[in-house]
Each structure stands twice: as structure tokens, then as C-alpha cells.
Chains A and B, each alone.
Chain A
Amino acid sequence: MSLAAACGCATTSADPRDPLESVNRAVYAFNEGFDEVVGKPAARVYREALPRGVRNMLRNFFNNIDDLFIGANNLLQGKPADAVNDWGRFALNTTFGLLGLIDWASDAGMEKHNEDFGQTLGHWGAGDGPYLVLPLFGPSTLRDAGGLLVDWEVDPVALHAPVDERNAMVATRFVGRRADLLEATRLLDEAALDKYVFLRDAYLQRRRSLVYDGRPPRERPPAQ
């Protein structure tokens, strides 16, 4: 009785998608703490210190580098037309967009895609595997964590030669992305009754949608 009451706050629902829930919750708590102390404050400073135009350029710069590998993943998924679009974006933005600081390609109607190696694995039928919360990186799955390793191996920012420059770039990218998510995390605080569960379910839904490029097959009967 008292034992059940003692750990009542973190009762696990034995969710089959999340067999490691107790470990995940611990990592999640660590990430939340890190975010509170480092992530959010840094993101707020970033947002207040830099004018919007500069933040846009920095975001464009990192997004442009991503387009190379978004294209590669589209090719690996058998979508050459999308790959051509992504590499066209990269070519246009790297040259006329001054190393990617300006996103002319979007203005020209070349759409930005969202791909990574985890999605490529999913595209070819790899299931999610157990849900994982990675230290600092946050929500993931076994499949997506594997994908992340590959993404990281070929990431030009992570591969950049002088280590201190690389660290500065990785940190800038991290803080910039955290700043872009400030609204989303406020929304999460307001919407969720149990943030861990809410974020997990949202992540799994989101990834499923991404694997199917926004058109996942319907899997539930209509309401009532």
C-alpha cells in the first residue's frame, strides 16, 4: 500500500511502446533540469540579444547545411525529384544566398523538406522500436537514435575541423533551435497534464507522420 503510494506520482502504465519508462523518466527529468538552468535562459538571451534579422540568417545558415542531407535522404527513400529540389535549394542558397544566410529558394517556391536518416529507416519499414529519451537530445526511439548517429557522422557542422569553431557552431545551432521552440514548450506546459506522456505521444505521432511525409494511413475508426 504505502509502497504504491510512494511511487504513485510516477506510476507507469506499462505502455508497450515505452518499456524503459522508468529510465526514460529519469533522463527526462535530467533534461528538464538542464533546460531550466541552461537551455531556456540561453535561448532567452539569444532572442533578446540578436535582432530578428540576424536570428533568421543564422537559422537559414544551419538549415541550408541540412538541405544537403535532406536531399541525400530523399534519394535514399527513392524520391529523386525531392532530392533534386533539396540540392537545388542548397546550390541557390549557398551561392546567391551568401552561404545560406538568405533563403532565396523558399521565395522561389522550392519547398523546404524535413528528412533525416531515422525517417529513411522508417521509410523502408523499420519500426520505431522502444521509445528513448536521450540525454540533451530529448525524445527519440531506438530507430531514430540509430538514425541520429548516422546524421551526426555526416553532419558538416559536427565534422568541422578546428574544434573550438565546431563547438561554437554546435552551441549556436543548439541555442538558436531552442529559442525557436520557446513558444512550443510554453504550449506544452499549458496543454499537458503529464508532460512526459504528452511529449512522448506527440513525438511518436509526429515521427509517424514524417515517415509517411504527412500522409500516414488512418488507423482509427471515426468518433464515438
Chain B
Amino acid sequence: MAGRRANGRLRNEKEDEMKRLLAGAAFALAAVATHAQHTPPDELVKGVMLDIQRIIVEDKELQSGARRKSIELIEQKALPHFNHVGMTALAVGVNWRKASPEQKKRLAEEFRALLVRTYASSLSAFGDQKFDFRPLRMKPSDTDVTVQVRVLQPGAEAVTVDYDMEKTSNGWKCYDVRVAGVSLVINYRTEFANIVRDSGIDGLIRSLETKNKKLAAATPASAK
């Protein structure tokens, strides 16, 4: 990987330049990927949370809860570290196996959109919170861990946020978040099961679509 840098002695022909560019790009990509792959899950969570907090602290609009911007921030900074399909499978539960690949894809898209829309509006509170990142005890062989963060707030008990993370070929990915002990994913399981029982997998997709459209339509009103 390293040490295969483009060599300065190469002639300045167009083809060589192209090769060098490509090599450089590949190297950069590899470096980023390797970095994410080798970042331990607790450092990954800490890095992402502090990064998001820093952006909010520097941005008045985000602090006042500008929804569109909050959604963009989550999409950019947090979502690459989530396993959406895994989260959706966990929420859908036993019915997941009955879904076709196309249905699975649609379910994952809609569920992802619902979670982002719902929690984007809570992002503004992130700005003035203090985090207590709990040390993670893990063995090198572990592939499924829980990273714990406590959100400290004066005058009230600390809120625990647990990130369930699994090791994938693309680095550690989060598949569930528990806030104060309540799983944002598992909490949908009964609801989803009820809808699937009454109107099938397609019915669940439709319900999620309708819900998301309603939330999107309400955005301008609750933006501020």
C-alpha cells in the first residue's frame, strides 16, 4: 500500500500523469478506508459525536433546530457508520425473512428516512451537552460490542446512550442505538409486526411511506 507512491522520475507524458493521479486517488481512498476499518468502535463513536458537536457549536442555524441542515449533517457525518439493512432487519424481526430483496430494500430506505427525520429535530440539544465516553473493554477477537456514552446534564440524571456496533469489512457499523435504555430500533418491532399481520410487508412499506411524507410536509412549519 504505502511506498508505492508515484515516482518523480516518470516522464511527463499524459498517460503517466493520469496513472499518477489515479494512484494518488486510490491511495487516498485506501487510507481513508483503512482508517475507518482500523478505528476501534469506541474511538469511532467519540470522533463522530465530537465532530458533530463542534459543527453545531459553530452554527447558529443548527442550534435553533434548522431541520433541513440537521438532516444533512446527520446524513453526512453519522449515517456512513450505520448498518441500515441490519437495523431494519432487527426492527422487522421474524417477518424479515418473508420479504423479497426489493421489499427489503424499500423497507430499509423508508426506515432510514423515518429515523433521520424523527431524530434530526433533537440534534440542536447536542450543542451544549457534555459527554462521558465510557471505556470499552473488548477483546481483539470481538465482532459485536456496545459502546456506551453518558450524556451529562445539570440537575438531572445522566442519560445513557448505547451504540451496538458490529465489525464489518468496511469497519465498525452501528446497528442499534439505545437512549436511556430504550432501543430506537427494537421499539418498532411490535408496531411493525402488527402492521405486517394486518396488511403484509407491502402494507408496512406503505405505512412508512405515508408517515415519511407526512413528516416531510410538516417540515417548514416545525423548522424553526
Query: A residues within 8 Å of B by Cβ?
Result: 8, 11, 13, 15, 56, 59-60, 63, 103, 106-107, 111-114, 183, 186-187, 190-194, 197-198, 200-202, 205-206, 208-210, 214, 216, 220, 222-224
Contact = CB atoms under 8 A, between A and B. Distances in A.
B154 interface: yes
A216 B87 contact: no
B183 interface: yes
A114 B197 CA distance: 37
B63 interface: no
A191 to B, nearest CB: 4
Main secondary structure of the interface of A (DSSP, over half): helix
Contacts of A15: 190
B190 A209 contact: no
Contact of A103 (B83, B86, B155, B211): B155
Closest 10 pairs between A and B when the two form their complex, measured CB to CB: A209-B181, A223-B86, A191-B118, A223-B175, A112-B157, A103-B155, A205-B182, A114-B157, A190-B118, A202-B182
Contact of B166 (A193, A197, A222): A222
B106 to A, nearest CB: 16
B49 interface: no
B160 A192 contact: no
Given A192-B191, A198-B187, A223-B89, 10 more contacts: A106-B155, A107-B154, A112-B158, A193-B191, A193-B195, A206-B180, A209-B180, A214-B181, A222-B175, A224-B89
Interface in B65-97: 83, 86-87, 89-90
Interface string B168-186: 0000000110101111001
B215 A190 contact: yes
B151 interface: no
13 contacts: A106-B155, A111-B157, A112-B156, A113-B157, A192-B191, A193-B188, A193-B191, A193-B192, A197-B191, A198-B188, A201-B186, A201-B190, A206-B181
B181 A205 contact: yes
Contacts of A60: 155
Nearest to B125: A183
A205 B157 CA distance: 17
Contacts of B39: none
A112 B155 CA distance: 7
B99 interface: no
A103 to B, nearest CB: 5
Contacts of B187: 198, 201-202, 205
Interface string B135-153: 0000000001000000000
Nearest to A105: B155
B114 A194 contact: no
A214 B178 CA distance: 10
Given A59-B155, A63-B155, A216-B181, A13 B193 contact: yes
Contact of B194 (A194, A210, A214): A194
A193 B207 contact: yes
